[in-house]
Amino acid sequence: MKIKEIKAYYPKWENLAKGQWQSHFWQIVVKIKTDNGLIGYGYGGGGEPSVLIINKHFKELLIGKNIDTINDIQDIWNELYFKSLPYGRHGLAIMAISGVDLCLWDLLGKQNKKPVYELIGPVKKRIINAYATGNEIKSYLLEGFKDFKIPHKWENNDSYESLIKLCEEIRSDIGPDGKLMIDSYMSWNSDVCLKMDALLKKFNISWFEDINTPDDLEELSKLRNRIDTKIAGGEHDMTLKKFIDISKLNSLDIWQPDITWCGGLTAGIKIIKLAEQMKTEVVLHRGGEVWGLHLIKSSCCENLAEIVKINEKENNKLWNNIPKVTDGLINPNDNPGFGVELNEHLIK
Ligand SMILES: [Mg+2]
């Protein structure tokens, strides 16, 4: 099949508060129509600038391209990377490529009448464990979640005491067995991390996430040798090349690429293969979204899918038919492609 039309959109997030781009991660939608009548959907990052890259630059490279095999998708990925290289290699251009790449995988699944996870390879997990990221632990427990990650922003020296108190409360709510993780979103540094590692030992924290910015890989590799808690990161890192750097410096115990940002499934599969060679754990960033779930299902990354709990209005849900968590477990559906449909009114 050939690409007939392609258009990227920044959805009308009606409840998007001013300046709070994180509330929807500046996510974009990519829609491709093919000459055999199929419609594919992809999800990328980078907001309006990324939409512009696709609609003004990538479009002219993509119209008329064949997509019949995984190799075709790889060839397209390479061309988009090369042609955007002067302004790309990281950031917006790779977030835009991610959206296109996922759209192509969706189409390949639909053409073959198979879920994407079957295209990736043999199924490795019958069912996937989900964990909830957010502050409302009591309500996530009622929803059936068993594992949790809390955000923590470093403010001042009182932050040590307040986090100890919070961990005490959460451990008493979830018991000794549930996983508990802490995401500092780049607000800690090595000194804070060293102290937190000592202070929080009794709470059995599975990992500290995003200790500092991804530019501090050497600092992280030194820190790794000095603490017991695992260090996770990588949501802001893109393409295999960046993860090769991370692996050379041994900066992280757990890699967390985001499939809608790091270069799509095509990049994600390579990153996971490298991690396997390096015997490093991969826990996908926002892996509980459908794009990550398919990859978790058929790859050797950890059986743990992140569900970010965002207060979405019901009419603001971008995707229909998304997999739901039951008793802390989740699975992608068996529909062709990624198995979700777009709420088209959000891109009109
Ligand atoms: Mg994070």
- Under the banding of pLDDT at 50, 70 and 90, the label for residue 348 is confident
Distance 97 CA to ligand 1 centre (A): 21
Secondary structure (3-state) at 61: helix
Domain segments of the chain: what residues? Answer: 3-114, 120-332
Secondary structure (3-state) at 65: coil
- Pairwise CA distance, residues 268 & 221, whole Å: 23
Distance 223 CA to ligand 1 centre (A): 19
- Under the banding of pLDDT at 50, 70 and 90, the label for residue 13 is confident
Distance 183 CA to ligand 1 centre (A): 6
**Cross-strand bridge partners of residue 287:** none
β pairing state of 28-34 and 3-9:
antiparallel
The mean per-residue pLDDT over the stretch 235-247 comes to 97
Neighbours of 70 (CB within 10 A): 16
Distance 211 CA to ligand 1 centre (A): 10
Q: In the prediction, which pLDDT does 2 show?
A: 98
Question: Of 297, 310, 341, which is closest to residue 133 (Cα–Cα)?
Answer: 310
pLDDT digits (tens, 9 = 90+) for 168-215: 999 999 999 999 999 999 999 999 999 999 999 999 999 999 999 999
Distance 207 CA to ligand 1 centre (A): 11
Q: In the prediction, which pLDDT does 310 show?
A: 64
Choose the CATH number for 120-332 among 3.10.20.740, 3.30.350.10, 3.20.20.120, 3.90.1420.10.
Answer: 3.20.20.120
Distance 187 CA to ligand 1 centre (A): 11
Q: Is the pLDDT of residue 21 over 60?
A: no
* Class of 3-114 in CATH: alpha beta
Per-residue exposure over 189-225, b if at least 16 CB sit within 10 Å of its own CB, e if not: bbebbeebbeebeebebbbbbbbbebebbebbbebbe
Would you state the structure tokens that stand for residue 11, as one six-digit string? 């959805």
pLDDT digits (tens, 9 = 90+) for 66-106: 999 999 999 999 999 999 999 999 999 999 999 999 999 99
Q: In the prediction, which pLDDT does 37 show?
A: 98
β pairing state of 319-320 and 305-308:
unpaired
Computed over every residue of the chain, the mean pLDDT equals 95
Distance 180 CA to ligand 1 centre (A): 14
Distance 182 CA to ligand 1 centre (A): 9
**Residue 211, CA distances (Å) to 74, 76, 251 in order:** 33, 35, 11
Distance 185 CA to ligand 1 centre (A): 6
Secondary structure (3-state) at 218: helix
Long-range contacts of residues 159-167, Cβ cutoff 8 Å, at least 24 apart: 159/192, 160/195, 160/196, 160/199, 163/196, 163/199, 163/200, 164/199, 164/200, 167/200, 167/203, 167/205
CA 111 from chain center: how many Å? Answer: 25
Distance 232 CA to ligand 1 centre (A): 9
Distance 114 CA to ligand 1 centre (A): 31
Q: In the prediction, which pLDDT does 12 show?
A: 83
**Cross-strand bridge partners of residue 308:** 133
Distance 235 CA to ligand 1 centre (A): 7
Phi (first) and psi of residue 287, to 5 degrees: -65, -15
- Under the banding of pLDDT at 50, 70 and 90, the label for residue 26 is confident
pTM (2 d.p.): 0.96
Distance 190 CA to ligand 1 centre (A): 17
